[in-house]
Structure 1
Amino acid sequence: MTWLYFALLAPLFWSLSNIVDKFAINHITSNCISFIFLLSIGNIFFAGAIYAYFQPTDLDLHIAVINICSGLAIFLQYFAYSYSLEDMDVSVVIPIHQSEPIFVLAASILIFHAIPTSWQVTGFAMIVVGILILCMSRQTIRGLGHPRHVVVLLVSAFFGAVSTVISDEILQLKSLESVLIFNFAGYALGGMLLLLVPKWRRLITNDLKTLNFKQFGIFGVTNIFDVGGYVFFMAALAAGGGAALVSVVVSIHPLFVLALGFLATKLFPKFIAEDIAPGGVVRKFLSIVIIVVGVAVISLQAM
């Protein structure tokens, strides 16, 4: 059962990263562009460290290019995530972000012509219902809060699914180390490409001039938490948990975020301001449970 402990540690580390992300985007950087730039470029150091330590010998230019595209998809996933995180509670962002299995299922249908089972369709419906409940608000006409951000987060989940499908295929041909190197490199490349847009380059440059060593350190911390979660996720797979079972356990990620967001708001209200009103917490919890069950139903059908 070692895989289970690793699988539980993965969402814990990712949740810690999400809470630090929320603080950083609201209190350190002045905009989401600077935030995602700082969030992404640190990955080049992780890519270099993996290469220096493991020195994989199965590097291939053609596969590397495809692998870098997978990393760019991860960048686009987090680009959309950061855009919505600036305005929404992290405990709302992450569950919608968790809808990635919907697009993995869609990709398997479109690319591999797989026929979904009735259980997979049920899981799909549950994720959609959970998202709708999560976003309900009396302040909007149709009861759907932040419709623009919901669409952006679904786009984020789509790019996450693209990266997952590509990486899953490449892992059948190449070692984990080489896949991680180019995934991280592609993610960092996405951040560097932001500098090609003059307006974004000015935003990034202005923020970099004002940040101090401690603030840069906070981005280092969130990168370590994020990479740590990914390492534990891979460790759970290596320990024999199986992709479907590990994915189901890791899907409780939003529950960790809800709990940590509630705790952070109570302890540090000046830095984190999640909606912790009883009605809001109950609604979030109900929607997260529905989404997690939907993810579990889709994932277990892949066994």
Structure 2
Amino acid sequence: MWMYLGLLSALFLGLHNLCKKHAVQGNEVFPVLLGTITAGFLLLLPFYLGSKFYPEFTKEIGFYITDIPWQNHALIVIKSMLMAGSWVLAYQALKHLPITIVTPIRSAGPFFTFIGAIFIYHERPNYWQWIGFFLIIFSVFLYSRIGKQEGINFKKNKWIFAIIGATFLGSSSGLYDKFLIQQVNLNPQTLQFWFCWYTILILLVILAITWFPKADKRKAFKWRWSIPAVGILLQTADYFYFKALQDPDALIMLLSAIKRSQILIAVLLGGILFKEKNKRKKLIPLAGILLGVALILYSN
């Protein structure tokens, strides 16, 4: 069951990436990011209020947000810091790079998660899982060769390093999620609600320094329908992902890989909607990544 929940998460993540590209294109990144997180927070706020005033009803529908001790709040703050850093880097890179380059580099995330799952959680891959993961990494390398044809030098372009850093921080957060869900025993909606709240506070501090005092940047910001759509799609994807993690048999290394199937939506639909170049050539490494995911699924 947890694998199907992972695939549902991948579906909403793929749609989320398309909306995110639309939201940041030619726009100020930090207020866009704040808008998306705020939209996700507002989506969850009725469940928080319902948990306070109508606890039996929210428990019945499975969206009860529990009271948690302060030490658990501190643990969620750490996750918020990891993801805020990842999103700031990723949004900046997405603003300056094609989605068909950014998304495949992000697909290297399962490799970082794979290494962490081995050394932290002692998950043991089998022969096919090894092949699948290295096939994903090799396919990402092929994308870098195609990227050079679009005038993107992977060694000198700072936005490439930004998206790599974002990928590493995102993978670290993914490993941390397993700890929060399985060992701290936070339910998905509780983790999501407080995560959104603390991330909003972090982003407000960043904006107070980099955006609010600068009138030219404020005027450059454009509100778009895709901004709240990003937040709603992301929280929906995260809900299915956290529900999958609640299964004690769920392996974070496999879930992370399954989520990479989101790139099918990003590369195919994104290439058409945003009219990016070399779409056909990108289908070859895309097939490699999907084959790697398929090998991991088959191995289980």
Q: Is the 8 A contact 1:41 1:192 kept in 2?
A: no
Is contact 1:67–1:166 with CA below 8 Å preserved after alignment? no
- The 1:229–1:195 alpha-carbon spacing in structure 2 relative to 1, beyond 3 Å, is same
Say if 2:40 and 2:228, in contact at 8 Å, map to a contact too.
no
How large is the Cα RMSD of the aligned pairs? 3.6
Counterpart residue identity of residue 166, structure 1: Y
2:237 to 229, 238, 249: 229
Contact 1:13 1:228 in 2 (8 A): yes
Deviations 1:214-256, CA, capped at 9 Å, x for gaps: x254311222222222234445667999556655543210011
CA offset at residue 61 of structure 1?
0.7
Q: Are 1:49 and 2:60 matched, yes or no?
A: no
Give the corresponding residue for 1:39.
Answer: 36
Query: How far apart, CA to CA, are the structure 2 residues paired with 1:158 and 1:298?
Result: 21
Instruction: Name the counterpart of 2:111.
Output: 102
- Per the alignment, residue 186 of structure 1 pairs with 198
Letter matched to residue 19 of structure 2:
V
| 1:107-163 per-position Cα deviation (integer Å, ceiling 9, x unaligned) | 234545667655554344323211111121455999748753333222112111221
Query: What corresponds to 2:179 in structure 1?
Result: 169
SS in 1 for 2:138: helix
TM-aligned CA distance change 1:293 to 1:258, over 3 Å: same
Return the offset for 1:7: 4.5
Q: Distance in 2 between matches of 1:123 and 1:257?
A: 21
> Is the 2:211–2:218 contact (alpha carbons within 8 Å) kept by the matching residues of 1?
no
Q: Hey, what does 2:21 align to over in structure 1?
A: 22
Matches within 5 A, 1:76-115: 76-111=85-120
Q: Is the 8 A contact 1:133 1:287 kept in 2?
A: yes
Q: CA deviation at 1:77?
A: 1.6
CA deviation string 1:181-228 (max 9, x = no partner): 22222332331121342x44335x64545657xx25431122222222
Task: Tell me how far apart the structure 2 counterparts of residues 12 and 141 of structure 1 sit (CA, whole Å).
Answer: 30
- Contact 1:7-1:250 within 8 A present in 2 as well: yes
Q: Alpha-carbon deviation of 1:51?
A: 1.9
Give, in whole Å, the separation in 1 of the partners of 2:151 and 2:40: 42
1:130 to 2:139 alignment: yes
Instruction: Look up the match of 2:212.
Output: 201
Q: Determine which of 217, 225, 228 is the counterpart of 1:220.
A: 228
Query: SS where residue 136 of structure 1 aligns?
Result: helix
Q: For 1:240-276, what per-residue CA distance to the aligned partner results, in whole angstroms no more than 9, with x for missing partners?
A: 9955665554321001111211332xxxxxxx3322x
Query: Which of 68, 77, 83 is equivalent to 1:74?
Result: 83
Structure 2 distance, partners of 1:297, 1:151, is: 29
Per the alignment, residue 267 of structure 1 pairs with: none
SS at match of 1:162: helix
For the structure 1 residues 238 and 109, does the alpha-carbon distance in structure 2 shift closer, same or farther, using more than 3 Å as the test?
closer
Asked if structure 1 preserves the Cα contact closer than 8 Å seen for 2:10 and 2:259, the reply is yes
User: How many residues were matched structurally?
Assistant: 284
Q: Structure 1: which 5+ residue stretches go unaligned? A: 265-271
In the TM superposition, residue 66 of structure 1 has moved relative to its aligned partner by 0.9
SS at match of 1:59: coil
Task: Name the SS of the counterpart of 2:213 in structure 1.
Answer: helix
Q: Is the 8 A contact 1:119 1:298 kept in 2?
A: yes
